[in-house]
Amino acid sequence: MVLKLIGTLAAAVFVVACGQGTSAEKSPLCSPDYQPGELTVTRDDPEGFTQEEPTKTTTDASAIEQVTRALCELPEPPTDAQCTADLGPTFVLRFTDNTGKPTEIRAEAFSCRYVNGLDIRRQAKPSLWQALTAAGLPSGG
């Protein structure tokens, strides 16, 4: 009985550790029911850097959907990632759905290019920067 309980607990821990949690853990942006309203992107530069691009906003639902799709398809970074100590801009993506609920994502355009604010930390790829550029928004690509 004890061994069976230990085996069940070990299997549950394995499933959670491998990212196979419930859909309640997923970011609202990655839900098929997400209804975009507005996306504002701000380039947040470290002190001493010049902000080259101002904050821009779009309400184009198709463009916002492309950006959310690119975000939700980003991979998790490797566990053994070796990041440089350089600094650069972070892009703050503020999504507002059609009910007014906000979601903020921070995408780093330097070093390991981490993306934070979704269900899990992810790593930015060219597809994200391309979707932002196509929407006429500031990007790190």
For 51-74, write each residue's pLDDT tens digit. 666 799 999 999 999 999 999 999
What is the value of pTM for the model shown?
0.77
Q: Which residues neighbour 12 within 8 Å (Cβ) at sequence distance 6 or greater?
A: none
- Give the pLDDT of residue 54: 73
Residue 138: its H or E element: none
Terminal Cα-to-Cα distance of the chain (whole angstroms) = 56
Rounded distance between C-alpha atoms, residue 90 and residue 42, angstroms: 8
Smallest CA-to-CA distance from 30 within 95, 78, 80 is with 95
Q: Strand 56-58 and strand 36-44: pairing? A: antiparallel
| Predicted local distance difference test score (pLDDT) of residue 18 | 37
pLDDT band at residue 106 using 50, 70 and 90 as cut-offs: very high
pLDDT for 135 equals: 94
Mean pLDDT, rounded, of the chain: 82
Instruction: Quote the CA–CA distance of 53 and 40 in Å, as a whole number.
Output: 13
pLDDT for position 49: 64
